[in-house]
Amino acid sequence: MLKTLITTTIAACSLLAAAEPFEVKTLEIGASAPAFSLPGVDGKTHSLEDFAKSKVLAVIFTCNHCPEAYAAAGRIQETADKYASKGVAVVAISGNDPLALRADELGYAPHGDSFEEMKLAAKEANWTIPYLYDGETQSVTRAYGAQSTPHVFVFDAARKLRYTGRMDEGYRKSGPVEKSQMIEAIDALLAGQEVPVATTRSYGCSTKWSYKREHVAKDNADWNQRAVTVDTLDGATAKALAANATEKVRLINFWATTCGPCVAELPDLVETARRFQNRPFELITISTDPAEASKRVLSVLKAKKVATPQPREAELAQENRKSNNYQVKDGELDAVADAIAKDWNGALPYSVLIAPNGKVLWKHQGEVDIVEVRREIVKALSSH
């Protein structure tokens, strides 16, 4: 009992301390590289000493979720590949607390910032560089003074800081860029020259310090208070939904209260709707339950918090719709199915992603892999 009390007290104190904002000061030019020993996505622990033989060390604080970081992922690996034979080491560190991210901050990439998601993100980006996790204590991130993602620190052979700031002028652009401050700094150090511009303003999403968890808690509480509604759906309305005469990408999910996988995947779909709520995207659920099950349908939707995000509310009114949740009107199932997913065989669950003007971008029979869904949404939003 005493041990439990002590553990609980320590945890409470830690959360209390994490809730206090603090000033973060970026490492000054000429300062020594702060030591680190952090777990990597490769299953190994990496420390500063591991790179002692490198002529130049580039430490990049980045993450999975930020659009600037997501776009820069390929260029980070390309830099490592290009300069490996010249004695340059590139290390990526995620210092974000994954629990300090609101849902609507996650609408630009398939993954959040947990350690497990870092493994997936690194694999998808074909990274061979060390990708290290500092999200638990954030002590290394704070020691370096990383302000955003990405935030670059380039050190010389003596591990003195010679450049800090933005990575390049890519911002949210993937692929090659015309100017890279990080590469300019690396080239100068390899040539034995002074870095032409030693500091620049870093640019990207702010570091998600643990004290920001309180914002997440409030956002979650607000969502839990949102109204959950459902409307009936006939073939004519279904045709309008499928035609999608809006600027939004629509994910339509057919489900039923008697379908276990359907109900099981609803929380992930809701989380996805919340993630992309500030982008032109909406989730529409369609229950195939008979009219007599309307109370049960609404009960399940409420239990799973399948609400309409606030940014979508005004659009519903403009489209003369009452809800993003529907229950098929008795006798209209075939008309609804033919309008939205003509090749659907009727098995549940079934999901379809529709672009503006009605083009089907993706469809899936059965319970979804939510990462795949989010990947398809990111792709769709990037091209429309």
Are the CB atoms for 82 and 69 separated by under 8 Å? Answer: no
CA distance 177 to 167: 11
Closest CA to 256 of 197, 291, 297, 206: 297
Task: Please list the ranges in the chain whose pLDDT falls under 70.
Answer: 1-19, 384
> Using alpha carbons only, how large is the chain's radius of gyration in Å?
24
What 3-state class would DSSP assign to 56? strand
DSSP state of 196: S
- Residue 345 φ/ψ region, left for φ over 0, alpha for ψ in the -120 to 50 degree band, beta for the rest: alpha
d(CA 219, CA 181) in angstroms, rounded, equals 37
Q: What is the pLDDT of residue 257?
A: 98
Say what the pLDDT of residue 1 is.
35
Give the DSSP per-residue string, 71-119. Answer: HHHHHHHHHHHHHGGGTEEEEEEE---GGG--GGG-TTSS--SSHHHHH
Q: How far apart are CA 58 and CA 293, in angstroms?
A: 60
CA neighbor of 152 nearest in space, from 124, 173, 183: 183
What is the reported pLDDT for 7?
A: 38
**How many helices and strands (H and E) does the chain possess?**
12, 15
Question: Comparing 14-214 with 226-383, is the CATH topology the same?
Answer: yes
The pLDDT of residue 19 is: 57
Phi, psi of 293 (to 5 degrees): -100, 15
Whole-number Å distance between alpha carbons of 342 and 334: 9
Q: How many CB atoms lie within 10 A of CB 191?
A: 8
Whether 151 and 202 have beta carbons less than 8 Å apart is answered as yes
For residue 61, the cross-strand partners are: 93, 151
- Strands 148-149, 205-206: parallel, antiparallel or unpaired by DSSP? antiparallel
CATH class in words for 14-214: alpha beta
3-class secondary-structure state, position 292: helix
Two structure tokens written together for 72: 């820069």
What pLDDT is attached to residue 23? Answer: 87
201: tokens are 């303003």
For 226-383, CATH number?
A: 3.40.30.10
Q: Can you tell me the distance from the alpha carbon of 71 to that of 182, in angstroms, rounded to the nearest whole number?
A: 16
What pLDDT, on the 0 to 100 scale, is given for residue 384?
64
Domain locations in the chain as residue ranges = 14-214, 226-383
**Cα separation, 356 vs 384, whole angstroms:** 8
Among 198, 257, 236, 244, residue whose Cα is nearest residue 332: 236
349 half-sphere exposure, CB direction, 13 A CA radius: 26
CA dihedral 146, 149, 155, 160 (to 10 degrees): -10
DSSP collapsed to 3 states, 347-380:
CCCEEEEECHHHCEEEEEECCCCHHHHHHHHHHH
**Residue 371: burial class (beta carbons within 10 Å; 0-12, 13-18, 19+):** middle
